Structure 1
C-alpha cells in the first residue's frame, strides 16, 4: 500500500506494518469517506458482514483510507495484502500472502476445500477439479477466522492482483452475509469488483488542499498558489504533498512565481528524478535490480547484486537514503512511483540485461515460475528456451487451477516460439486456459491467433470445438454451427469419431439457430458415423433429432428419440462424461414436458457429487435443470430452493449463461407458489440478463412465469401479452419449442377467459395434437385446452381424458389446474354439485403443493359453487425465503450447521442467521421441532 494524504508521513503500509497512528496522520477532505468506513467497522461487532470497493486515481488517498480503517479496527483481527505489479501473472500470489497468518486453520475446512487451497498455494500436489473450489475454500477460511474473532480484510492496489486472487476475493465479497467480516478493497477502477458496493474517491477541493499544504509547511500558502497547484495537480493529495516539497518558501508564499508547469503525470520524475540522478553507479545498479526483481524476495536481490563487488553494500546505502525498505525476506520501494521512475529511465537493452541477471541467480525449483518470466523479459526475438520455461510455468499453474496465469504464460510462450506449429499449439493451449478461467473474449482472440498458424487438422478440430462452445454461450448460434461444421470437415479423414462429435454439436447450433431440418440432418449423420459406445455423441444426436422432428411436426417420432435420449442420461457412457453436454441432454428431456422419466433420478446423485467435489463451475446449471424438473412435476418448494441457489451461485461465479435461465425458472416457480413480488423482480432481472447474454431463448421461461402469474391473479387480459410474446419469439432462431407449446396452451386458456375467439388454425393444431402419442402430462394439457374451447356436448369427455392422463404421471400442479378449469366450466353450466367435487380437489391440490394464489382462486370458485371455502393460511414453507427454506430442509433432515454451510458454500454464521429466522417464522425452538413441523406441513410441498 502506498498512496498517502498523511502529513509528514510517507511510510509504506504493507503486510508487515503495524499501522500505528501518530499525531501527524491526518486525512484532509475525506470526512464522508471516513464516516462510511466507521459504519463498516461496526458491522463485525454485531455479527454482520460487508464489502466495499474504494476506487480512484493513483495518489487520490485510497491507501490512506485503508490505513484509517486499520487504525480504527482496534478490536478486530486485521489481514492485509497489496497487489504487486510484477506479480500479476503468478496465480494466487497475493492470496497466499493474505492467508498466510491463518493457514494453521486449514484443518477446520472440509477436506475438498482444504486440499484445493493447499494445492493453489503450492502446499500440496493435489489438483482441485474446479477453479471455484479455491474461491470457496478461501471464503470458508476467512469465515472460519471471523468465527473466532471479528475480522477486517484490507486489500490495496487490487488493480495489480493476479486474476485468481481477484476472483477469490470477488467471490468472497458476494457470499458475505453474517460472518463478522468486513472486506475493503482499494483499486484504481472496479473491474471485476463492479457489482460490489463502490466508494469513489474524488479530488480535494481548494480548502482541503490549503489545509494539507499548511500542515505540511506549518505556514499558510498563498491563495493563488493553492489554486494553481490544485488545478494543475487535479486535486491529487499525494501529488500536492510530494510536489509541494520541491517548492521554495518564496514560491509557496507567492513571492516568487512557480517554476515549470506541474501535473500528476510527471510527479514521479519531479519527486524522485533528482534523488535518482544523485546516486553513484553502484547504488543506481542496486536500485535497478530492486526494481526488476520486485516481489522475488531479498535473497534474489542480494544474489543478483553479488555479481558485482560492493553492490550489496549499495543496497544498504539505498535503505539509509530512504529509497527502499529492507525486511527479513523482502525489499521494496518506499513508494511505487519510485519504481516507476526507475524503470521509465531504462533503455530496452538495459531492461533486458537486468532481467537476464536476475534470471541467472534463480536456480531453485520453487523459483522456476518467476525465472521463466524473467527469461521472457530478457528475450530479444524468438527464444525457444524461454518459451519452454513459460510452458512449464503454465503447467504448474494449471495443476493449481491458476488458469488465468497459465493463459498469460502460454500466450507469451507462443509469441516467443520459433516455428508456426509451436505457435499454433501454444496459442490454442492458452485459449483453453483462458476459457477455463472464464475469459471468453480472450479465449476467442487466442483461438484466432492459433488458427493463423494451424496446419494440423486435429488441432484445427480442437480450436473449432472450443470456439463453437464460446460462440454458442455468447449467443451466436449460427456462427457456432459453422465453426463446428468446419472443424468436422477438417478432421473427418484422420479422426472420424471426432468428426462425428463435432457434427453432433453443430446440430445443437443449428437447432438453436432455428434450422430444425439442418439440425436433424447433422444429428442423423453424427449418430450414424459415431460408435454406439460413444455415449456423449449418441446422447446429443438423439436429443437434437427428437427436438428437431417435433419442431417439424413429427411429434410421435420426436418423442421416441427423446425417450431414448432421456434414458441415455441415466446411463452415461463409461469413462469421464462431458458433463456440460450430459446436462444439455437432461435439460432437453425435462423441457419436453411430461416424460415419464424423472430427471431427478439422474440429477440428485450428480448434484451430490458436484457438491462433494466442490465443482461450482457445473453446479449452477445442474441446479437449474433440477429446478425445472421440479417445476414441471409440481415440487414447487424444492424447485424454488434449487432455482434460487442456481441463480445465486451463477451470479457469484459470473456465469451469466446460466444466470439468465435460472432467474427465469425461479420466476416461474414463484408464479406457481404465488409470490408475486419476487416473481416480477426475478423475471425482470432474467430479461435484463437476456440482453447481456444475447441468447433470445433464455427469456421465454421468465415470460411464461409472468403470464402464469397473471392467470393466478385472475387477470387473463394481462397474461395474454406475455404469452403471445413467448409464442411469437423475438426472432425465429431463438425459440424454445416446448416452452412455446406449453405457453400456447396457457394462452388458449387466457383467450377463453377473456371471451376472445380462438383461431381456426389453433383449433386444428389442438385436434392434430390430440391424435398423437405424447407423454401423459403433455397429453393432459392438450385435452384440457380442447375442453376449454369445446362446445357443451364435448367438454365433459375432454376434461375426463385430461384427468385420466394426469392420473398416469405425477404433475399435481397441472392436475389441480385442470380440476379448477373443469369446476369453473361446470359451475357456469349450472352443475354446481358436480363443480364442487372438482373445485374441492383443486383447492386441496394447490394447498398441498403450496400454490397460494391458485388456492385462493379455487376457494373463490368453490364458494361461488355453494360451498363456502377459504384457502388455508399456508404451510411452513410459505413464510420462508428460498434460501431459508433450503437451509430449513437440510436442518430438518439432520444436517449440522457446518455440513449445511459446506453444501451451500456459505459460512456457518450465515447458516446460524438463516436458522434463527426460520425458527422465529415457524415458531419452533429446536431442530427436532423443526423436523416435526416440516414432516407435518412441508413434505407434500416438496
Structure 2
C-alpha cells in the first residue's frame, strides 16, 4: 500500500494483523534512524521464527545467521541470503499460514530490503501473504520492484466528517469543515491533528491568511505538541529520537549521562509521545520522532549522540558496536580519527555479513571523518570496492577517482587503478578500455602494471582485437616474471594462453596451460581470480581436454554453490554449459545455460548473460526451435548493443546460421555464415574450434549451389587444422572434403577421428553425409547403417530437422521401418528444465530449491507440472523420458 504520510497505511495494516487469527504474523517496521543498521528490519521480521533457521540447508542457515549477527562467518551472498529468507518463510508456513507485515518500508535498511524482495518475488505456491506500506515519492525499492500495489487516497467528505466528529464538534456543513477537508485533501491524520488544534486554538481558524496546521506541515504540528512539554522531557525525547535500537536500558543510561532520570520517559509516555511497553522505547508516530530530533538543533542532536555513544561504549556484540560507531560519527562536529576508525570497523563487519549498502555508507562516512589524507584515500577505495560488489559501478568509479585525488599513497592508487579497470571492462567499448588500461600501466612498477595489462588483454579479446590482445598479454606475462623471485603469475599465464588459442597458436597455448594445470587442479577456485578458472577451462575445452575442463568447472560450481558466490557461479555455469553442449550432454547444457543466464540477469552481467543465451540458441537451432532461437537472438542483441563485444556476438550468428541450415534456408545460411567468416578474419580469430561454424558454411554453400565458396572455405579450414590439429578439425575437415570432392575415403577418415571425439551431434552429421553419399552411389544397403546411427543420435538429442533429414534419406534408401518418437521434453519452460535436470540426478526437492534459489513449494509446483506435461509419474520415468543417465552427478 502506498500513500502520503497520515493517509492510513499503518491503520489498515493493523486492521489486517487484527484479522489474522490462525496465522503466524511476522512484522517489521522501517525506522528512519535505523536505516543505516544492516539487517535491522530482517532481524525484527524473522525473530519469531528464528528457531527454524537450523532446519535450513547449511549454506542458507550460515548466511542467515551471519547476516543477523547470530554467528560469525564469511560475507553471505545476496542470492543465498534471499533464498534463505524465502526458505525460512515457506518453512514457517508449512503448518500455519504466514502473514508478513512490513510498515514504513521506505525506511527499511537496504540489506533487509534486498533479502525480502528476493523472497517476495519468488512466492508462488506457498501459504504466505505479504502486506507492505510505504510512502509515495521516497524511492522505496519495493515500489521499484513493481509488486501488486494499492495507492490510498484521502477520505471522501462523508467519511472525513465522521472521523472529525470523534475529536471536535465542528459542524460538517460549515465553511470551516469545507476548508478543513480541502486543505487536508481528506488525509485522516491531518484531519485529526487539525481538528484537535482547532479545538484548543479556535482563533487559528479565524486568521484570514493563516494556514491550518495540516498537510505537509504535519511535522510542525508535532513539534508544537512537543513544545508544550518541560525542558527535561524535550531533551529526553531528543535522545530517544537519536537512538537506533530503542533499547530502554541504553536510553536510560544515556539520560543518566546527561543528568536526567527515567521520570522524563514516563512523562513522555503520559503525554502520549512514547510507548515504553516490552522493554522498548517507541514513538507513537514516526513524525513525532522526526520532530523531536530535527527541532533540537545541531548541538542538541550531537549532545544526544554523545550520550548514547558513552552508554554503548562498554557493551559487547557487533550490533552494539555498530550503533556506537554511528553515534560517534553523528556526534562529531569535524574530522574525528576515533569515529572514522570505528566506522571503518563497522563497514568491514557489514561487508563480511553481505550488507553491502550499509558497508558503503559507513566507509564513505569514515572517509569524511578521517583527518589524514592517506586514511581518507583508503576508506574511499574500500567504499569503491564495496560499491562495485554491490553492482554500483558508476558510484565505484566516482569513489575510486576521489581516492586517487585524495592521496598519493601507492597502494591506494594501484588499487583504484585495478578497480577502475574491472569496471570499465564491462561498461565501455572494450578496445577503448584496452587503450586506457595500457596508458594507466605505463610508468607503474611491475607488480602494479601486470594486473592492469591482464585486464587490458581481456578487454582487447572481447573487442575482437586479438593480435593486440596477444601483444598486451605477452607484456603482462613478462612483467609477472620479473623480480628476484620471478614468480610465475598464473593470471598472466592463463591470459597469454587464451590469446594464443584465439590467434591459432594451439600448441603454444597447450604448453603454457600445462605449466598451470597442477596449480589449477590443486587450488580452491574461489581463492583465485575468476578469469583464471574461466579462461583456462575455456581453453581446455577448445584443446578438447573435456574431462579436465569439466572437472575444473564442476568443482568450481560446487564451491560457488557451497558459499553462495553467485558472481563466481555465473561464469562457471556459462563455460560449463558450452562444454556440456560440445560433449553431447544437451539437457545438462540447457539447464546450466538457463541458470547462468537467469543469474547473470539478476546481478547485472550482460556479456555473460549473452554468452549463456547464445548457448541456449545453439541448442534450439540444432533442434529446430526457431521461435525460441530467434527470441534469444533478440535478447542477445539487446544485451550487447553498444558494448562492442565483437568476440561474443559471433556466437549468435553461428547459431542462427545453423538454424537456417537445418531448416532448409540454405542461401540465407550461406550468406550469414560467410559474413561471419569475414568478420572473424578481420578480428584475427584463427582457431576453428572456438565457433565451429566453418563446416556449416561449407554445407550451406554446397546446398545453395556455391561450390567455389565451399572449396575456398574448406581450403582455409584445412590449412588451419594442418597448422594446429584438433580431433574436431580433423573430423569435420575430412567430412567436408568428402562433401566437396565426393571422396568415400574422406568419410571413413572422418569417422575414425569421431571415435576419439565425444561430440555425438558432429559424428551424426558425418554419418548422415556419408549415408547420403553411399545412397547416391547406389549403395543403398551400405547407406542404411550410418543413416540409422545418425537418426538414432539426432532423435536422442531431439534435433528434429536433422532427424527428418536422416529419415528422408532412409526412405530413399528403401528403409521403411516405422520411426519411434521419444517424448518432447522441451514443452518445458527453462525453469522446469533446470528443475528436471537436477531432480533426475538424485537431488531432493530441498536441494533443488537451495541450488536454484527457490522455495521447496515452488520446486514441488514445477515438478507437478513437469510430470503432467511429460505424462510420467516418477523420477525414474522422468530420467528415462529425458534420456539422461540419472546416476551422473
Is TM more than 0.5 here?
yes
- Structure 1 counterpart of 2:46: 99
Which of residues 389, 404, 416 in structure 2 aligns to 1:463?
416
CA contact (8 A) 1:81 1:97 kept: yes
CA contact (8 A) 1:833 1:865 kept: yes
Q: Are 1:768 and 2:719 an aligned pair?
A: yes
Q: Are 1:418 and 2:371 an aligned pair?
A: yes
Which of residues 78, 84, 87 in structure 1 aligns to 2:34?
87
Which of residues 843, 849, 861 in structure 2 aligns to 1:913?
861
> How high is the TM-score relative to the length of structure 1?
0.82
Say what the alpha-carbon RMSD is for the aligned residues. Answer: 4.0
Q: CA deviation at 1:369?
A: 1.1
CA contact (8 A) 2:101 2:130 kept: yes
Q: CA deviation at 1:922?
A: 4.6
Match of 2:216, SS state, is coil
Match of 1:746, SS state, is helix
Q: Measure, in 1, the Cα distance between the counterparts of 2:875 and 2:727.
A: 40
- Structure 2 counterpart of 1:165: 112
Match of 1:182, SS state, is strand
Judge which range, 353-362 or 395-404, deviates more: 395-404
Q: CA deviation at 1:228?
A: 7.0
Q: CA deviation at 1:822?
A: 4.7
Which of residues 329, 332, 335 in structure 2 aligns to 1:382?
335
Q: Measure, in 2, the Cα distance between the counterparts of 1:594 and 1:794.
A: 28
Q: CA deviation at 1:257?
A: 6.9
CA contact (8 A) 1:590 1:629 kept: no
- Structure 1 counterpart of 2:768: 820
Match of 2:73, SS state, is coil
CA contact (8 A) 1:56 1:200 kept: no
Tell me: CA distance 1:313–1:479, structure 2 relative to 1, closer, same or farther (3 Å).
Answer: farther
> How high is the TM-score relative to the length of structure 2?
0.87
Q: CA deviation at 1:279?
A: 2.3
- Structure 2 counterpart of 1:74: 21
- Structure 2 counterpart of 1:20: none
Match of 2:100, SS state, is strand
- Structure 2 counterpart of 1:302: 252
Equivalence map 1:788-827=2 (5 Å)? 788=739, 790=740, 793-794=741-742, 796=744, 798-824=746-772
Superposed CA offset, 1:365-403 (max 9, x none): 332211111111111221111111111222332343333
Q: Measure, in 2, the Cα distance between the counterparts of 1:244 and 1:204.
A: 19
Tell me: CA distance 1:556–1:691, structure 2 relative to 1, closer, same or farther (3 Å).
Answer: closer
Q: CA deviation at 1:250?
A: 13
Q: Measure, in 2, the Cα distance between the counterparts of 1:392 and 1:98.
A: 26
Q: CA deviation at 1:829?
A: 7.4
Match of 2:725, SS state, is coil
Match of 1:906, SS state, is coil
Which of residues 295, 300, 305 in structure 2 aligns to 1:345?
295
Tell me: CA distance 1:841–1:89, structure 2 relative to 1, closer, same or farther (3 Å).
Answer: same
Judge which range, 407-416 or 910-919, deviates more: 910-919
Q: CA deviation at 1:830?
A: 6.9
Q: Measure, in 2, the Cα distance between the counterparts of 1:248 and 1:736.
A: 87
- Structure 1 counterpart of 2:270: 320
Q: CA deviation at 1:345?
A: 2.7
Which of residues 148, 153, 163 in structure 1 aligns to 2:100?
153
Which of residues 731, 751, 771 in structure 2 aligns to 1:780?
731
Judge which range, 371-380 or 239-248, deviates more: 239-248
- Structure 2 counterpart of 1:860: 808
- Structure 2 counterpart of 1:204: 153
CA contact (8 A) 2:842 2:887 kept: no
Q: Measure, in 2, the Cα distance between the counterparts of 1:204 and 1:133.
A: 38
Tell me: CA distance 1:140–1:697, structure 2 relative to 1, closer, same or farther (3 Å).
Answer: farther
Tell me: CA distance 1:98–1:693, structure 2 relative to 1, closer, same or farther (3 Å).
Answer: farther
- Structure 2 counterpart of 1:289: 239
Q: CA deviation at 1:518?
A: 2.8
Q: Are 1:216 and 2:163 an aligned pair?
A: yes
Judge which range, 909-918 or 723-732, deviates more: 723-732
Q: Are 1:545 and 2:499 an aligned pair?
A: yes
Match of 1:154, SS state, is strand
Match of 2:278, SS state, is coil
Q: Measure, in 2, the Cα distance between the counterparts of 1:700 and 1:264.
A: 59
Equivalence map 1:466-865=2 (5 Å)? 466-478=419-431, 480-482=433-435, 484-485=437-438, 488-489=441-442, 491-492=444-445, 496-531=446-481, 534=488, 536-550=490-504, 555-556=505-506, 560=510, 564=514, 567=517, 570-571=520-521, 577-589=527-539, 592=542, 594=544, 599-691=549-641, 695=645, 697-716=647-666, 719=669, 723=673, 741-743=691-693, 745-755=695-705, 759=709, 762=713, 765-785=716-736, 788=739, 790=740, 793-794=741-742, 796=744, 798-824=746-772, 836-865=784-813
Match of 1:514, SS state, is coil
Q: CA deviation at 1:358?
A: 2.1
Tell me: CA distance 1:735–1:517, structure 2 relative to 1, closer, same or farther (3 Å).
Answer: closer
Match of 1:74, SS state, is coil
CA contact (8 A) 1:542 1:565 kept: no
Q: Measure, in 2, the Cα distance between the counterparts of 1:338 and 1:916.
A: 52
Tell me: CA distance 1:767–1:609, structure 2 relative to 1, closer, same or farther (3 Å).
Answer: closer
Q: Measure, in 1, the Cα distance between the counterparts of 2:669 and 2:171.
A: 70
CA contact (8 A) 1:130 1:401 kept: yes
Superposed CA offset, 1:495-520 (max 9, x none): x4454343323321232233323321
Match of 2:70, SS state, is coil
Tell me: CA distance 1:282–1:237, structure 2 relative to 1, closer, same or farther (3 Å).
Answer: same
CA contact (8 A) 1:94 1:161 kept: yes
Q: CA deviation at 1:544?
A: 3.3
Q: Any unmatched runs of 5+ in structure 2?
A: none
Q: Measure, in 2, the Cα distance between the counterparts of 1:750 and 1:840.
A: 23
Q: Measure, in 1, the Cα distance between the counterparts of 2:730 and 2:431.
A: 33
Match of 1:81, SS state, is strand
Q: CA deviation at 1:602?
A: 1.6
Match of 2:272, SS state, is coil
Which of residues 266, 286, 294 in structure 2 aligns to 1:336?
286
Which of residues 131, 134, 138 in structure 1 aligns to 2:81?
134
CA contact (8 A) 2:780 2:814 kept: yes
Q: Measure, in 1, the Cα distance between the counterparts of 2:181 and 2:777.
A: 83
- Number of aligned positions between the proteins: 874
Match of 1:91, SS state, is coil
Q: CA deviation at 1:725?
A: 7.1
Judge which range, 709-718 or 735-744, deviates more: 735-744
Q: Measure, in 2, the Cα distance between the counterparts of 1:507 and 1:98.
A: 48
Superposed CA offset, 1:610-668 (max 9, x none): 22333333222212211111112221111111112223333445554533322332233
Match of 1:771, SS state, is helix
Superposed CA offset, 1:583-620 (max 9, x none): 33145326737556552122222222322333333222
Tell me: CA distance 1:327–1:629, structure 2 relative to 1, closer, same or farther (3 Å).
Answer: same
Q: Any unmatched runs of 5+ in structure 1?
A: 1-53
CA contact (8 A) 1:620 1:646 kept: yes
Match of 1:508, SS state, is helix
CA contact (8 A) 2:525 2:556 kept: no
Tell me: CA distance 1:247–1:880, structure 2 relative to 1, closer, same or farther (3 Å).
Answer: same
Q: Measure, in 2, the Cα distance between the counterparts of 1:588 and 1:746.
A: 22
Q: Measure, in 2, the Cα distance between the counterparts of 1:732 and 1:198.
A: 48
Q: CA deviation at 1:846?
A: 0.8
Equivalence map 1:353-432=2 (5 Å)? 353-363=303-313, 364-366=315-317, 367-432=320-385
Superposed CA offset, 1:697-744 (max 9, x none): 554434443443343333345656765775577998899986984345
Tell me: CA distance 1:716–1:84, structure 2 relative to 1, closer, same or farther (3 Å).
Answer: farther
Match of 1:147, SS state, is coil
